[in-house]
Amino acid sequence: MSNQITLSINNQSISVPAGSTIMEAAQKLGVSVPHFCWHPGLSIAGVCRFCMVKVEGMPKLQIACNTPATEGMKVDTVSAEVKDAHKWALEFHLINHPLDCPICDQAGECELQNYYMKVGKYQSQMEDEKVLKPKALDVGDTLVLDTERCILCSRCVRFEDEVTKTSTLGIFNRGDQATIGTYQGRKIKHNYSYNLADICPVGAFTAKDFRFKCRVWFLKEAKTVCPGCSTGCSVNLFQNSNQREYYRLKPRHNAEVNGHWMCDTGRTMYEHLNASTRLSAPLLNGENVTFHAALQAVSDATKSVSADKVAVVFTAQFTSEEYSAVLNSLKTTLKGTPKVFVWREETETEESFDGILFRGDRNPNTRGMTEVLKQESVGASILKGDFSALANAGAELTLVFGPEVESAYPSLAKALSRFVELKKSVYFGNTLNEVAKKFWLRIPVKTFAEKSGTFVNFNGVAQKLKANPPVYPAVKAVDEYFADLGKLAQSAV
């Protein structure tokens, strides 16, 4: 136990590893110490001077973020002296802040606002003119920068220096003229730019993708998993509380997977949820039919063929539960194992990795799918640019489980045109496209946002999806359809 130390914060005892700071100990204990510049994913700057705490035996207040915790230390975060320090630290942050909350898109999730309500609530003594700085700067394709709102916490500078190592940002000039900005001629150009808007505690960095679209208090968030690549970042998905439009994804801390960050590609994973081309009804021979009729058609088709005349084409964008349900259901119905193919994008480079989070395998559940196939003792052939194996299989019924994130499959149309050439081919998908119309049967499925289930990332970490209410209530997930198919088969018997 020599590497653990015990200290007390507000008379509550807590043990932390030696070398921890007071801030880390407080976080572990669940004691909130106000802070702006400290961020657990970045180095310590110690500049906002907000996280002042009283340490018994030290004459001055100390910053919690950079003061090492020591054995037997007694820390106070709530005394009148500490509260006064917090109040004044906030006042110093706000004296030159424009206080343009009504037109600021950060309002509602702004740390200045939150802390004002928590530790401020004073009448400002600032009566002089504020320092004016450049506003609404275009600093790249994804972000807008308002340097007047900036509180110079330097989180963004450290992010650029330490995480993306692009060092685009700096704080220029001195004193109250100090201004955040990009180096001359530079723009923020990397696949992690939206993290800057996330870590900005105020409205200095706002995301072009989200700003002015919806006030944050109309949003509710669901803890789920990003379907953008095989890293499977833990995310919060934000949906309007009217339970229709989705607005954005933000990373959710997961030390095992993504730490504090996620990539910009992953941030686009709400777009297809809102697409006007979302499929809502099944299509049989080009005619809209009921869900019951569609499933009945599948059920009938499976009755008249032997297992080796049925082909299943998976993409690795479904949940492990869905793969299991398909295989189990078909095995029961067909009294044998169908031929299984795994369809991968022909340009995909599965092994590539950007060094931070983003992986070349754009499917969130390759590992989960592989595990299910192994568990079910099903061998699968890979279709990648070459579909001859499938064509030669001579299947009389082909079930194609298309990618939910179609942008990950640039050769989608080409591949689909190969599938429609086959006899009785069924497409499970969620977005309208010209080729998908030509399938014998097309059945809409739920998106990752609407279903529960598991994604297993490249590293074997399994994470659960969180089901939001579906936009189209009649649309189901693949495992739900196959449960229904099972019931149909039973009732027929």
Partner 1 sequence: MPVMNSPYMGRQPSEFKILTELEGVPNSRSLDVYKEHGGYAALEKVLKGGMSPDDVINLVKASGLRGRGGAGFPTGMKWGFVPKPAGEKYLITNFDEGEPGTYKDRYIAELNAHMLIEGKIIAAYAIGASKSYIYLRGEFYDEIAWCEQAIKEAYDAGYLGDNVLGTGFKHHMDVYVGAGAYICGEETGLISSLEGKKGQPKLKPPFPAVKGYLGKPTIVNNVETLAAVPWIIRNGAEAYKKFGTEKSAGTKLFNISGPVVRPGCYELPLGYPLKRFIYEDCGGLIGGKKLKAVIPGGASAPVLTAAEIENMTMDYEAFAAAGTMLGSGAVIVIPEDVSMVHVLENLMHFFKDESCGQCTPCREGTGWLLKMSRDIVNGDGAPGDAEKIADVAGKMMGRTICTFSDAAAGPARSIPQKFAHEFLEFYKNKASAAHAQG
Nearer to partner 1 among residue 66 and residue 370 (C-beta): 66
Helix-then-strand count for the chain, H and E: 13, 23
User: Which of the stretches 88-96, 243-251, 315-323, 457-465 binds partner 1 when contact is defined by CB under 8 A?
Assistant: 88-96
Nearer to partner 1 among residue 91 and residue 376 (C-beta): 91
| Residues between 104 and 143 with contacts to partner 1, criterion CB under 8 A | 125-126, 128-129, 131
Q: How far is the CB of 31 from partner 1 (least distance, A)?
A: 21
Q: How far is the CB of 124 from partner 1 (least distance, A)?
A: 11
Tokens linked to 478 = 């693949």
Residue 57 neighbours by CB distance under 10 Å = 7
Q: What is the spatial distance between Cα 253 and Cα 12, in angstroms, rounded to a whole number?
A: 26
Q: Is 18 in the site for partner 1 (CB under 8 A)?
A: no
Sign of CA dihedral 372, 374, 378, 383: positive
The pairing of beta strand 441-444 with beta strand 453-456: unpaired
- Contact between 284 and 298 under an 8 Å Cβ cutoff? The reply is no
Looking at 12, 74, 78, 92, which residue binds partner 1 (CB under 8 A)?
92
Looking at 16, 29, 31, 45, which residue binds partner 1 (CB under 8 A)?
45
Nearer to partner 1 among residue 161 and residue 346 (C-beta): 161
CB-count exposure of residue 28 (10 Å: 0-12, 13-18, 19+)? middle
Looking at 23, 26, 35, 50, which residue binds partner 1 (CB under 8 A)?
50
Nearer to partner 1 among residue 100 and residue 176 (C-beta): 176
Residue 248, strand partner residues: 238
Q: What is the spatial distance between Cα 374 and Cα 308, in angstroms, rounded to a whole number?
A: 19
User: Which of the stretches 38-46, 412-420, 438-446, 464-472 binds partner 1 when contact is defined by CB under 8 A?
Assistant: 38-46
Residue 341, strand partner residues: 313, 381
Nearer to partner 1 among residue 47 and residue 391 (C-beta): 47
Tokens linked to 481 = 């359809």
Nearer to partner 1 among residue 125 and residue 276 (C-beta): 125
Helix boundaries (H) for 275-319? 291-303
Nearer to partner 1 among residue 128 and residue 287 (C-beta): 128
Nearer to partner 1 among residue 19 and residue 286 (C-beta): 19
Residue 383, strand partner residues: 343
User: Which of the stretches 25-33, 46-54, 181-189, 437-445 binds partner 1 when contact is defined by CB under 8 A?
Assistant: 46-54
| Residues between 289 and 348 with contacts to partner 1, criterion CB under 8 A | none
- DSSP, collapsed to helix, strand or coil, labels residue 130 as coil
Q: At what angle do helices 320-334 and 478-492 cross, to 10 degrees?
A: 20
- Contact between 112 and 202 under an 8 Å Cβ cutoff? The reply is yes
Residue 444 neighbours by CB distance under 10 Å = 23
Q: How far is the CB of 145 from partner 1 (least distance, A)?
A: 18
| Residues between 143 and 182 with contacts to partner 1, criterion CB under 8 A | 151-152, 170-171, 173-178
Nearer to partner 1 among residue 44 and residue 99 (C-beta): 44
Return the ∠ at Cα 245 (arms to 242 and 251), rounded to 5°: 110
Q: At what angle do helices 291-303 and 320-334 cross, to 10 degrees?
A: 50
Count residues near partner 1 (CB under 8 A).
35
Q: How far is CA 188 from CA 152, 202, 247, 269, 353, in A?
A: 18, 18, 22, 21, 21
Tokens linked to 8 = 């007390």
Q: How far is the CB of 132 from partner 1 (least distance, A)?
A: 12
| Residues between 55 and 74 with contacts to partner 1, criterion CB under 8 A | 60-61, 66, 68
- Contact between 67 and 54 under an 8 Å Cβ cutoff? The reply is no
Looking at 15, 28, 95, 461, which residue binds partner 1 (CB under 8 A)?
95
Residue 13, strand partner residues: 8
Nearer to partner 1 among residue 63 and residue 269 (C-beta): 63
User: Which of the stretches 86-94, 188-196, 354-362, 363-371 binds partner 1 when contact is defined by CB under 8 A?
Assistant: 86-94
Q: Binding pattern to partner 1, positions 189-228, x when CB under 8 A?
A: ----------------------------------------
Residues that bind partner 1 (CB under 8 A): 44-50, 52, 60-61, 66, 68, 85, 88-89, 91-93, 95-96, 125-126, 128-129, 131, 151-152, 170-171, 173-178
